[in-house]
């Protein structure tokens, strides 16, 4: 029953987003503009030499997560604001449990966030000429970080939807809490790219701890959200 | 109303704090092994501030839970006051830590994981105050603030304790610090003195906040009457 409610809400999220494409358009445009800015601003930095490759991988790891964070702050806050604007909050309260609403919105937000990562990560690496030595590890880092970030943005998005100042508040509330995931995400991306690791070194042997950090953060964020969401939703 | 601290207790707090400070300035020896051994005494102020910040953050989270369970506005006021004191002591921890870093390691800021964690806590409490300011309805403000302070309290220890202790090998802070007995004799009593100050400040601030809220309610009622 709970799973059915959750999947129904996740399906509704994706369908309504596909019909209006508001978040998709704003996220897509933001990602395209930020990649163009990265390409233009790094065009004069010589990244082809041995030293340049190292600088390129460091810039790539930082830029990927900066783009993902700001894109999320732009697009993911809408999930609950839309319900509040359309006056559909009461209907949702009647038809589903609070935790099912949160879980459905979380699935929708995380899929959107993963979509942003699918465009941002390969394009930024391509623009900066970075070769990824451990692609499987990079995928694991991105997926785990996106799950943790999706959980935080869904909960803070629900908080912000109940306030009068929606614009910048989502970023202000989310970024300090997201910092552990951001730090581990940048660190994991650097190591998956192969920065200061020999090509033969196994990722799990040298950097498995980062995946544990990201997994623990995601589990904590989901558990805390499920525990506290009832107080936001039924208030 | 929170009880006011009795004059005898205030006197005892003054004498105890003066005793702790006298011990720090007159008896604690310079710490051998540091770049500036004389100024290593700063740690006897820095560490107690960090402990008190942690106690105040726990008070904010504890009363946040109490509000969500009982929906009692007094718990919201206590959680808010706890957050204000946590913000103050996070600021003092950052200032004393930066002074220590400058004299011992040559730079005010080193992006050390624990330094960053305290700065993040400052940002979390700043965001908490912004959230409170953006909600007018007192009950909704209390519920949403309690949720945010609890959400942050569950996730930020990852950055402040778990990652630096178990996953990062290179840090300017020791993982499990072992202090000489003279330093322990300064740090722990100073921490007790500051926690005692916290109790005093907490009671005073809760009373002041209750008066503020009563005045705000009276103003609202009189505005309603005028209309």
Token pair for residue A119?
Answer: 């465009």
The least confident of A36-40, A67-71, B129-133 is A36-40
Task: Report the mean per-residue pLDDT for chain A.
Answer: 85
d(CA B123, CA B131) in angstroms, rounded, equals: 12
Distance CA B205, CA B227 (A): 33
Q: Verify whether the Cβ–Cβ distance B131 to A163 is below 8 Å.
A: yes
Q: What is the pTM of this model?
A: 0.86
- Give the chain B residue nearest A164 (alpha carbons): B134
DSSP B108: S
Does a structural domain hold residue B100?
yes
**What's the number of domains chain B is made of?**
1
Q: Chain B within 8 Å of A224 (Cβ-Cβ)?
A: yes
Q: Which residue range(s) make up the domain with B121?
A: 12-170+181-226
Task: Flag whether B187 is in a domain.
Answer: yes
Regions of chain B where pLDDT drops below 50: none
* pLDDT for residue B167: 61
Percent of chain B as helix, strand, coil, to the nearest 5: 80, 0, 20
Asked whether residue B175 is domain-assigned, the answer is no
Q: A172 at the B interface (CB within 8 A)?
A: yes
The closest alpha carbon to A153, from A221, A217, A97, belongs to A221
Residue B2 lies in a domain: no
Residues of B with CB under 8 A from a CB of A: 68, 116, 120-121, 123-124, 126-127, 130-131, 134-136, 139-140, 143-144, 146-148, 150-152, 154-156, 158-159, 162-163, 166-167
Do A33 and A162 touch, CB atoms closer than 8 A? no
Share of chain A above pLDDT 70, in %: 91
CA-closest candidate to residue A79, choices A155, A182, A25, A134:
A155
Q: Is residue B5 domain-resident? A: no
B160 located within any domain: yes
Give domain status of residue B38, yes or no.
Answer: yes
Measured CA to CA, the distance from residue A149 to residue A146 in angstroms comes to 5
Nearest of A86, A72, A84, A71 to residue A161 by alpha carbon: A84
Pairwise CB contact (< 8 Å): A176 & B123 = yes
Question: Tens of pLDDT along A116-126?
Answer: 899 889 988 88
Pairwise pLDDT comparison (A39 vs A142), residue with the higher score: A142
Nearest C-alpha neighbor of B175 from the set B113, B131, B118: B113
Does B62 fall in a domain?
Answer: yes
Whether A211 and chain B come into contact, CB under 8 Å, resolves to no
**pLDDT tens digits, A126-176:** 888 888 888 888 999 999 999 999 999 999 999 998 887 666 788 889 998
For the record, the structure tokens of A58 come out as 């460091």
């Amino acid at each position: 029953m709970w799973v059915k409610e959750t999947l129904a809400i996740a399906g509704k999220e994706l369908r309504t987003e596909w019909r209006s494409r508001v978040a998709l358009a704003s996220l897509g445009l933001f990602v395209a503009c930020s990649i163009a800015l990265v390409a233009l601003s790094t065009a004069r930095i010589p990244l082809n030499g041995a030293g340049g490759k190292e600088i390129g991988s460091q810039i790539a790891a930082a830029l990927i997560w900066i783009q993902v964070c700001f894109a999320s702050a732009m697009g993911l806050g809408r999930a609950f604001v839309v319900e509040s604007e359309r006056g559909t909050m009461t209907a949702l309260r009647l038809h589903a449990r609070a935790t099912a609403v949160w879980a459905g919105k979380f699935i929708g937000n995380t899929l959107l966030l993963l979509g942003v990562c699918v465009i941002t990560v390969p394009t930024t690496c391509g623009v900066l000429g970075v070769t990824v030595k451990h692609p499987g590890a990079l995928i694991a880092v991105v997926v785990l970080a996106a799950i943790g970030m999706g959980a935080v943005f869904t909960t803070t998005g629900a908080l912000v939807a109940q306030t009068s100042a929606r614009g910048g508040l989502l970023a202000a509330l989310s970024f300090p809490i997201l910092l552990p995931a951001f730090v581990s995400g940048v660190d994991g991306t650097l190591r998956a790219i192969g920065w200061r690791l020999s090509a033969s070194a196994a990722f799990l042997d040298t950097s498995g701890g980062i995946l544990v950090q990201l997994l623990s953060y995601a589990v904590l964020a989901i558990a805390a959200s499920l525990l506290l969401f009832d107080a936001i939703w039924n208030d | 109303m929170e009880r006011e601290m009795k004059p005898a207790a205030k006197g005892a707090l003054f004498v105890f704090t003066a005793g702790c400070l006298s011990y720090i300035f007159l008896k604690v020896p310079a710490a051998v092994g540091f770049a500036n051994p004389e100024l290593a005494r700063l740690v006897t102020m820095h560490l107690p501030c960090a402990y008190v910040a942690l106690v105040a953050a726990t008070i904010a989270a504890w009363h946040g839970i109490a509000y969500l369970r009982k929906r009692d506005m007094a718990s919201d006021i206590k959680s808010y006051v706890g957050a204000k004191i946590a913000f103050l002591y996070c600021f003092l921890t950052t200032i004393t830590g930066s002074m220590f870093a400058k004299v011992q390691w040559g730079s005010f800021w080193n992006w050390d994981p624990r330094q960053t964690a305290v700065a993040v806590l400052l940002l979390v409490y700043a965001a908490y105050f912004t959230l409170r300011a953006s909600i007018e309805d007192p009950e909704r403000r209390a519920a949403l603030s309690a949720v945010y302070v609890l959400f942050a309290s569950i996730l930020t220890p990852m950055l402040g304790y778990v990652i630096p202790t178990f996953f990062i090998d290179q840090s300017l802070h020791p993982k499990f610090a072992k202090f000489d007995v003279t330093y322990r004799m300064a740090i722990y009593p100073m921490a007790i003195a500051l926690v005692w100050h916290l109790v005093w400040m907490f009671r005073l601030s809760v009373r002041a906040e209750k008066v503020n809220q009563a005045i705000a309610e009276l103003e609202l009622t009189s505005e309603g009457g005028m209309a």
